[in-house]
Each structure stands twice: as structure tokens, then as C-alpha cells.
């Protein structure tokens, strides 16, 4: 089949479609109404139809362009995530983890800082150690060691509570403020009693294989 045959078939198909459209009653009705309109209205209708056809023609490539941009954005997000995973994997092994503080050291350090901050003895209340067997936080893994304490402070203003909370939160990388209870004093509602709850988190150190066991294995192998 050559090009002329395709042309003839296309013209034949186009003629059939044209005849079927011209025989349609709805088309004839719209055509009669169109011919009764003024020339300016006819031009406006023609321009509107051309604009609609042009919009449809331009909409097709635009949809492909927008979808390709979405694919590019998704690809860049995945690439950034993969790079981050590769960087994490390439970190040297055996990085020392921050060691947690014992509850006794935490109490001594907190009390020492309270005196340095200018708090009076009457403002520093009771200090309690949290029970070791008590599940102090359920957001950590079961292997995480937790040691905690509570300290009660009295007759503080809001500025002092904010400063003390900020210092306790940044006292050590392993220590976090997990609870705070504030209650206004009965004598002066502008001063408050605060109860801070601190927990020190630490992970168990990995077991190190002794060099003696390695040497024994080598001797057995020889």
C-alpha cells in the first residue's frame, strides 16, 4: 500500500464522517442558528472554538511535562535518601557511644549547679532516685539503660524555671528532662514550686573478644 492509497482512504473516511455530521439534525439546527447570528458574534464563536482546540492541543504536552517534573522530583528525593544511607553505611565502625551518668553523679552535679545558680537552701527541696526496675520511658528500646532522679525546687519565678529547665536539658548528652510539674505557691501566685524529672540513657557496651581466645583458636588451627 503506497502513499496515494492511504490518501484516498483518508479522503474517503473524511467524506463519510462529513456526510454523517451534515445529516445530523442537531448539526443542522446549530448551523441555522449560527447563520442567523451577526458577523461579530460568528467571529467570536470561531475564535472561541479555535482557542479551545489550541488549548486542548497544548494541554497534551503540558501534561507530559508536569508528570516528568514529578518523576524528576521523586527521583531526586530517592537519590538524596540513598546518598544519606550510603554515608551512614560508610561511617567508621566502633564509634564510642555517649556513656550515661549514674543517678548519684547526676544528683551531685545538679545540686552543685543549683548552688552556683544562686538558689538558696530553702529553694532546693527533696531529691529522689527513681527505682531501677521501674519502666521510666516506653519510647526507648529494651536494651537501653535508664537511671533517673527527681528534684523539687521551691519559690521560683517563670524565668528561673525556664533557665533551670534549659540547663538541665543540656547538662549532658545522655540526660534528658522527661517530666516537669509546676504548681503555684499558696502565699504568692507569682512564684511556683517545680518538680523536675531527669533520666540518663545509655546503651550497653558491646562485648570485646579477648586476644587470648583468638590466639588459642589460631593454635588449634595450626
What are the structural domains of the chain?
103-202 (3.30.70.60)
pLDDT value, residue 195: 93
Which cell is 18 given? Answer: 462529513
pLDDT value, residue 101: 79
Q: What is this structure's pTM?
A: 0.48
- The residue length of the chain stands at 222
pLDDT (tens digit, 0 to 9) for every residue of the chain, 222 residues total? 566 777 777 777 877 777 777 777 777 787 778 778 788 888 888 888 888 888 888 877 777 787 777 888 888 888 888 887 777 666 555 555 567 778 788 888 888 888 888 888 889 898 888 876 554 555 556 667 888 889 999 999 999 999 999 998 888 888 888 889 999 998 888 899 999 998 888 776 656 555 555 555 555 555
Rounded CA-CA distance 102/202 in Å is 10
Rounded CA-CA distance 149/129 in Å is 4
Range 31-56 burial, b when 16+ CB lie within 10 A, else e: eeeeeeeeeeeeeeeeeeeeeeeeee
pLDDT value, residue 182: 92
**At which residue does the C-alpha cell 508536569 appear?**
66
**At which residue does the C-alpha cell 503506497 appear?**
2
pLDDT value, residue 135: 47
Rounded CA-CA distance 151/177 in Å is 11
pLDDT value, residue 181: 92
pLDDT value, residue 80: 84
pLDDT value, residue 139: 55
Nearest alpha-carbon partner for 103 in 136, 66, 143 = 136
Is residue 165 a contact partner of residue 104, using CB atoms and an 8 Å limit?
no
pLDDT value, residue 71: 80
pLDDT value, residue 95: 54
DSSP state of 207: P
Name 116's Cβ contacts closer than 8 Å, sequence gap at least 6: none
First-to-last C-alpha distance (Å) of the chain: 83
Amino acid at each position: 500500500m503506497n502513499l496515494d492509497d492511504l490518501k484516498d482512504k483518508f479522503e474517503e473516511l473524511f467524506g463519510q464522517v462529513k456526510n454523517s455530521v451534515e445529516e445530523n439534525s442537531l448539526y443542522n439546527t446549530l448551523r441555522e442558528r449560527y447563520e442567523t447570528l451577526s458577523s461579530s458574534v460568528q467571529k467570536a464563536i470561531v475564535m472561541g472554538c479555535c482557542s479551545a482546540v489550541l488549548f486542548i492541543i497544548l494541554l497534551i504536552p503540558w501534561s507530559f511535562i508536569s508528570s516528568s517534573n514529578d518523576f524528576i522530583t521523586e527521583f531526586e528525593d530517592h537519590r538524596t535518601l540513598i546518598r544519606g544511607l550510603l554515608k551512614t553505611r560508610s561511617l567508621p565502625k566502633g564509634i564510642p557511644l555517649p556513656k550515661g551518668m549514674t543517678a548519684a553523679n547526676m544528683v551531685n552535679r545538679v545540686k552543685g549547679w543549683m548552688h552556683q545558680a544562686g538558689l538558696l537552701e530553702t529553694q532546693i527541696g527533696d531529691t529522689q532516685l527513681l527505682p531501677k526496675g521501674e519502666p521510666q520511658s516506653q519510647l526507648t528500646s529494651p536494651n537501653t539503660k535508664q537511671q533517673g532522679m527527681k528534684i523539687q525546687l521551691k519559690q521560683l519565678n517563670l524565668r528561673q524555671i525556664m533557665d533551670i529547665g534549659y540547663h538541665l536539658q543540656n547538662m549532658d548528652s545522655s540526660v534528658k528532662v522527661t517530666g516537669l510539674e509546676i504548681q503555684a505557691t499558696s502565699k504568692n501566685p507569682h512564684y511556683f514550686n517545680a518538680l523536675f524529672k531527669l533520666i540518663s540513657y545509655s546503651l550497653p557496651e558491646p562485648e570485646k573478644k579477648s586476644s587470648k581466645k583468638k590466639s588459642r583458636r589460631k593454635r588449634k588451627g595450626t
